[in-house]
Structure 1
Amino acid sequence: MTPRQFMQEYWQKKPLLVRQAIPNFVPPVDRRALFALADQDDVESRLVTFFRNRWKMDHGPFAPANLPALKQKQWTLLVQSVNLFHPAVAALLGQFRFVPDARLDDVMISYATDGGGVGPHFDSYDVFLLQAHGKRRWQVSTQSDLTLRSGLPLKILANFEPQDTWTLEPGDMLYLPPQCAHGGVAEGECMTYSIGFRAPGFRELSGHFLAWLADSLEDHPDFAGLYADPDQLPTTTPARIPAAMTTTLAERLRKLQWDDSMIAEFLGAYLSEPKANAIFNSPKRPSLERFKRQATTQGVSLAAASIALYDERHFYINGETYEPPHALKAHLVRLADTRQLAGSDLARDAALPDLMDTLFGWYEAGWIETGKH
């Protein structure tokens, strides 16, 4: 099946089981490495247990010694955004870039002992569930009843009625569209990689856009100055909001206008904002000349935590908006689409105005690195 066939027939429409999506898959993060990640302060992790018929969820970090015993059944460790910390997991995420980066989110790794799971539930976003180690039995339903059980720390469906049951082995993968009910149970020790996608709500986007718009009004002449009321008369009803204040603000707000280009600029800045726990490693004692030598021989690549997007006019990287000169645009588009630039290309065009200076600024911030990932 080609990516085009998948997007047309399955994306946001119906589940798909793919046997041996990645044949002979060897997980790049083993149990020990995953437990070490869950012990870090800058890594989001959760522990879900179902002991004595009772659901419980705790948030990390978790020292390995504080996790339940490996022989203890029915517990699950969830570690979020592992792609930010392991290049091989970031490369795995890159295999799903037939979906736009603006929708791509992260790779969560789930480790479970026998019987472990998080209960039947649904997600508000698309997800690929890649079996990495051991076996997990999945039950899936396209039911319309998404009522949740009350009083639980997890969002578990109250009336789950499975329609299909599949047991996945390493390399098998299950795609689920949003609101597709599903529940997975480990058959013995297992690990599952969840490739998730962003699905921001319209209310969330609208709120952030209005905040962005407010910031953009700083130099707008219609919104300069302070409210004034030189014609205000004495009042006998001091708690009443003056009608003139309402009218004046309403007149100013009616002058608020935006167009598609402003919305595109907001989306680029908002969607390229890195995750809160993203870490960028700035080089020690960076040198422009040394950077030029390394870049033109080794090439450059985006750091794992960097997000680069673009539209017709702008280039966006980690929440920053840049309107590149025409001569640079092709290079920056290639950097965003391939997440790297070859040293030979940079050597050929090293004399382009602003190219090396621009890349060096991002290199100083830790947003790009020399060499190829």
Structure 2
Amino acid sequence: MPILGDLSVEAFLRDYWQKKPLVIRQAWPNFQPLLAADELAGLSLESEIESRLVMEHGTAGPWEIRKGPFDESAFADLPESHWTLLVQAVDHWIPEAADLLEHFRFLPGWRVDDLMISYAVDGGSVGPHYDQYDVFLLQAEGQREWRIGQMCHEDSAILKGPMIRVLAAFEETERWVLNPGDMLYLPPQLAHYGIALGECQTYSIGFRAPSVAELAQSALDQVLSTSSEDQRYTDADYSAHEGSSGEISSAAKARLAKLLQAVLMQPDNLGDMLGKLMTEAKYPEHQSERLDDDDWELWRSQHQQLPDLRKSEHGRFAFQQTAAGLVFYAQGQASTLDIEDLELAQLLSSRHQYPRDMLANVPCSQQGYELLRRLWLQQLIYEVE
């Protein structure tokens, strides 16, 4: 189902993606929320699920934030207006929420972060703020007014005192009211301010945007795992005219740059950095325990061919083609595949569901079979009952 209205994917990417906001009226006609408000509140009672309550006028001052897990009494004491419940990564726990993300596959699947659900009563808001990543805001129930402001940066002034980051200055440029099925796209660093008009639910689909610091750490890990002691700084072209003995000359810096570029800028190494970093689990502590090898043998003996399978809601997959073949990434770990496993890698990394008739037609080498085995034992794929 297209979710960009009358806009083509090409036009969206050219004119809006990471450039400017876009309101898409009835991006999802007749949309029905996946969870009722009380079911969403029930998720916030669970210790493994990240949740927050935000109140504009709390007992601890303006824009008070409380972190879950909550108990039922926390909701009994709330005022009638001006509060919001945020439940993070609902797609990790609700298969239907994970399926919703399939509609955003016109963008790299390894960039998708999670689906957060915001439930708010009248006037509920988290204040004017900005995000460092792209986000689609799908109105699931009720109405929310969105006000759009200036582009921000790390030096943008933040209010002192509140327990959440609220912009000290908000320079409104536009505003829209979203109804169920409407969707708003926001590029990174654009100030925005959402206010509930009565009870409402908004689904936020966010995209991972690693910082330079995260990429640098991933690059360092890659260098440490692939470099040898023989790779060192050299200066066979050193000239007596480079400067005084204690000076780190421009030529020395150029040699260092060349050395680091030779190590870091190889396309396969860059792909490895992204593959491992972008498939790391959002909540590593919630990963399922590995099954025993005997479980796989028993399970396979019960199936003449693979049944309908599904990716775990916690699973993150990606792959890259290299000079040597294929590398598949799952939860930050790399697996080498044969080139004949290309269709398998494409299937596993581009969908949540793997029907048996589709799996039966996908070429699979022994390495591909071993990948399926590892994913099943790690409970990153499972049988659809």
Of residues 129, 132, 137, the one that matches 1:124 is 132
CA distance 1:360–1:295, change in 2 (3 Å) = farther
Query: CA separation in 1, counterparts of 2:34 and 2:138?
Result: 13
Query: CA separation in 2, counterparts of 1:74 and 1:39?
Result: 21
Q: Which amino acid aligns with 2:334?
A: T
Q: Secondary structure at the match of 1:330?
A: helix
State the aligned residue count: 346
Partner in structure 2 of residue 23 of structure 1: 29
Retained in 2: the 8 A contact 1:70–1:113? no
Q: Secondary structure at the match of 1:66?
A: helix
Partner in structure 2 of residue 304 of structure 1: 313
Q: Which amino acid aligns with 1:8?
A: R
C-alpha deviations, 1:281-302, integer Å up to 9, x for none? 6668724253365482523222
Q: Secondary structure at the match of 1:298?
A: coil
Partner in structure 2 of residue 316 of structure 1: 329
C-alpha deviations, 1:43-64, integer Å up to 9, x for none? 1111111226722112111112
Q: TM-score, normalised by structure 1?
A: 0.83
Q: Does 1:370 align with 2:383?
A: yes
Shift in Å, 1:13 = 0.9
Retained in 2: the 8 A contact 1:310–1:316? yes
Query: Over aligned residue pairs, what C-alpha RMSD do you find?
Result: 2.9
Query: CA separation in 2, counterparts of 1:45 and 1:107?
Result: 13
Partner in structure 1 of residue 194 of structure 2: 184
Query: CA separation in 2, counterparts of 1:359 and 1:340?
Result: 14
Q: Which amino acid aligns with 1:101?
A: G
Retained in 2: the 8 A contact 1:38–1:45? yes
Shift in Å, 1:263 = 2.2
Partner in structure 1 of residue 157 of structure 2: 147
Of residues 312, 319, 325, the one that matches 2:338 is 325
Retained in 2: the 8 A contact 1:272–1:308? yes
Unmatched 5+ stretches in structure 1: 224-242, 244-250
Query: CA separation in 2, counterparts of 1:282 and 1:147?
Result: 47
Retained in 1: the 8 A contact 2:341–2:364? no
CA distance 1:42–1:216, change in 2 (3 Å) = farther
Q: Does 1:271 align with 2:278?
A: yes
Query: CA separation in 2, counterparts of 1:254 and 1:350?
Result: 41
Query: CA separation in 2, counterparts of 1:173 and 1:347?
Result: 37
Q: Map 1:1-373 to 2 at 5 A.
A: 1-51=7-57, 54-67=62-75, 69=77, 72-142=80-150, 146-217=156-227, 220-222=228-230, 257-258=262-263, 259-276=266-283, 278-280=286-288, 286-288=295-297, 290-291=299-300, 293-294=302-303, 296=305, 298-313=307-322, 314-347=327-360, 352-371=365-384
Q: Secondary structure at the match of 2:69?
A: coil
Query: CA separation in 2, counterparts of 1:274 and 1:351?
Result: 26
Query: CA separation in 2, counterparts of 1:319 and 1:298?
Result: 26
Query: CA separation in 1, counterparts of 2:22 and 2:256?
Result: 52
Retained in 2: the 8 A contact 1:48–1:77? yes
Shift in Å, 1:106 = 0.7
CA distance 1:348–1:202, change in 2 (3 Å) = closer
Retained in 1: the 8 A contact 2:89–2:114? yes
Query: CA separation in 2, counterparts of 1:201 and 1:72?
Result: 39
Query: CA separation in 2, counterparts of 1:40 and 1:260?
Result: 42
Query: CA separation in 1, counterparts of 2:175 and 2:357?
Result: 51
Q: Secondary structure at the match of 2:91?
A: helix
Q: Secondary structure at the match of 2:108?
A: coil
Shift in Å, 1:352 = 4.4
CA distance 1:70–1:27, change in 2 (3 Å) = farther
Unmatched 5+ stretches in structure 2: 1-6, 232-245, 247-254
Query: CA separation in 2, counterparts of 1:26 and 1:99?
Result: 24
Q: Which amino acid aligns with 2:139?
A: Q
CA distance 1:98–1:281, change in 2 (3 Å) = farther
CA distance 1:295–1:34, change in 2 (3 Å) = farther
Query: CA separation in 2, counterparts of 1:341 and 1:77?
Result: 34
Shift in Å, 1:343 = 1.8
Query: CA separation in 1, counterparts of 2:24 and 2:321?
Result: 36
Q: TM-score, normalised by structure 2?
A: 0.81
Q: Secondary structure at the match of 1:115?
A: coil
